[in-house]
Amino acid sequence: METIIPLLLAAVVGFQHAFEADHLVAVSSIITKRSSIVLAVKDGIFWGLGHTSTILIIGILILVGKIVLPEQVFSYLEAGVGVMLVILGVYRFFKLFKYKNDHIHLIDDKGNHHLAYTVGAIHGLAGSGTMILLVMTEIKEIWSSIAYLLIFGLGSVVGMLIAAGMFSLPFSKQFANNKLIQLSLTAISSILCISLGFWVIYKNIYG
């Protein structure tokens, strides 16, 4: 019973985890290039899959392989998330500048979800230390701990697909005629990405 209760709560914890600020800001920046809600939701799913895959890999290495990683390593990985957020924000600003001057398309509906998966994987890599420490304090059995990480990951997939779908609404084809709203929201998303990115870097390197 002591093991079952944490496993039952894992999906809920994972769902809530998807709505952390740095996750939402990163995904909001990614889905600003979508006019299809379906593709945006898929971005959310791929983010969750990337996030889950790295947490599972690190979890197996630590829980099964008994590999010990210094706490400082995870601080640097968190700082890496900050760098990634800054890059995402700057890239979207670059696209806005090109759109304004060269009239390139801001929308990309080709269905490529590699970026979302990579961003999710980096987030998972950075957050794996805290998550695995939490699991080790709650569950003693190795395979139950891995099951917790997997269920947690599935919960994060569901949470992020919902978040991505909600964030994509202003950029969907139904709102495509209102370019001012789309451009403004893209700019806001980029600013949030860059600002939060620098704060994450400062917190984990100098904080």
- How far apart CA 159 and CA 48 sit, in angstroms, is 8
pLDDT of residue 175: 55
pLDDT of residue 34: 78
Per-residue pLDDT of the chain (207 residues; tens, 9 = 90+): 556 777 778 888 899 999 999 999 999 888 877 777 888 899 999 999 999 999 999 889 888 888 877 878 888 989 999 999 999 999 888 877 776 655 445 566 676 889 999 999 999 988 887 787 778 777 778 888 888 899 999 999 999 999 998 887 776 665 555 677 777 778 888 899 999 999 999 999 887
pLDDT of residue 136: 75
Question: Phi/psi at 6 (nearest 5 deg)?
Answer: -60, -35
Single out the residue of 73, 75, 25, 22 nearest to residue 206, CA to CA.
75
Question: Phi/psi at 177 (nearest 5 deg)?
Answer: -75, -20
The answer to whether residues 86 and 193 touch, using CB atoms and an 8 Å cutoff, is yes
pLDDT of residue 30: 86
pLDDT of residue 19: 92
- How far apart CA 192 and CA 29 sit, in angstroms, is 9
Question: Phi/psi at 19 (nearest 5 deg)?
Answer: -95, 15
Question: Sign (positive/negative) of CA torsion 72, 77, 79, 80?
Answer: positive
Domain boundaries, the chain: 4-205
Please report which residue ranges of 103-178 form alpha helices under DSSP H.
Answer: 114-138, 142-168
